[in-house]
């Protein structure tokens, strides 16, 4: 996984449906799952409960929530899939263990 600078991965949120407004002291925690070979651009915000599939690319500045499919290229707020990697090419490189190591 490659993560650029100024990214935020958030795993908890406030309870806005409790007994106080705007929210109470309860924290709602949800794991974030990031699969292998994911590339996350600069200043990405990943929200609680997000799952990012293998080989996905997250465009810089994206706000990500929900499930990102494997090999998807996403961007925007909220992040939307706008393209997919060449899956056969990706799998060939993976099989040949051609990995970028920083």
Q: Which of 9, 13, 14, 23 is catalytic?
A: 14
Residue 89 designated active-site: no
Measure the N-to-C terminal CA separation of the chain; round to a whole number of Å.
Answer: 10
Known catalytic residues are 14
């Amino acid at each position: 996984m490659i993560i650029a600078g100024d990214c935020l991965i958030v795993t908890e949120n406030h309870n806005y449906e409790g007994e106080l407004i705007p929210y109470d002291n309860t924290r709602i925690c949800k794991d974030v799952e990031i699969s292998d070979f994911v590339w996350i651009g600069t200043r990405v915000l990943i929200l609680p409960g997000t799952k990012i599939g293998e080989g996905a690319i997250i465009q810089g500045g994206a706000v990500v929530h929900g499930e990102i499919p494997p090999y998807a290229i996403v961007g925007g707020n909220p992040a939307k899939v706008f393209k997919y990697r060449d899956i056969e090419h990706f799998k060939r490189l993976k099989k040949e263990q051609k990995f970028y190591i920083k």
